[in-house]
Amino acid sequence: MNHHLESDERGIILPCPACGTANRIAYAKAALQGRCGACKADLPHVSLPVEMSGVEAFAALVSQSLLPIVIDFWAAWCGPCQMMAPEFAKAAVQASGDALFVKVNTDEQPQIAGQFRIQGIPAFALIRSGKLVAQTSGFQPAARLLEWMRQG
Ligand SMILES: [Zn+2]
């Protein structure tokens, strides 16, 4: 069972729940409900956190997404980040269709983390219309993260 979705510079890779075919959802269309290219079944809204594969994918996401973007900066060695992962995933499900929840591994993507001057992790950033509007850090339950997102 996947706990996150992959991405590339052209969009989010979303497996069809009916036939398993990997569909690519362009970042600009993440708010819409798509259809599987293979079996034509309706695809669900993106409701899992999307792992950012690199700076190109991240730049495409930020410039193209019509939905607010909530970023979780994390690393495999970080205990509080592991505790945060299921809360972040829960928040992603609850905000499905209203926001995109993405994860940036600070060890693998130091260039992205550098753009946000991340000091400690877990850390979070909120982007609306391509602009950084809020940042916070430290473990927080899903409900608190969603409240932060809606106020930001
Ligand atoms: Zn399908």
pLDDT score for 1:
43
pLDDT score for 152:
86
Residue 141 lies in a domain: yes
Q: Could you tell me the CATH number of the domain that includes residue 139?
A: 3.40.30.10
Is 16 annotated in the active site? no
Residue 73 lies in a domain: yes
Query: What confidence tens digit (pLDDT) does each residue in 80-106 have?
Result: 999 999 999 999 999 999 999 999 999
- Domain extent at residue 83: 45-151
Q: In 3-state terms, what secondary structure has residue 50? A: strand
CA of 42 to the centre of ligand 1 (A): 8
Q: Give the chain's domain count.
A: 1
Query: What confidence tens digit (pLDDT) does each residue in 29-83 have?
Result: 998 888 999 999 999 889 999 999 999 999 999 999 999 999 999 999 999 999 9
Please give the model's pTM, rounded to 2 decimal places. 0.94
Residue 6 lies in a domain: no
Catalytic, out of 16, 19, 39, 81? 81
Residue 89 lies in a domain: yes
Q: How far apart are CA 152 and CA 148, in angstroms?
A: 6
CA of 45 to the centre of ligand 1 (A): 14
pLDDT score for 2:
56
Is 78 annotated in the active site? yes
The model's confidence at residue 136, banded by pLDDT at 50, 70 and 90, is very high
Residue 2 lies in a domain: no
Residue 67 lies in a domain: yes
Residue 81 lies in a domain: yes
Residue 4 lies in a domain: no
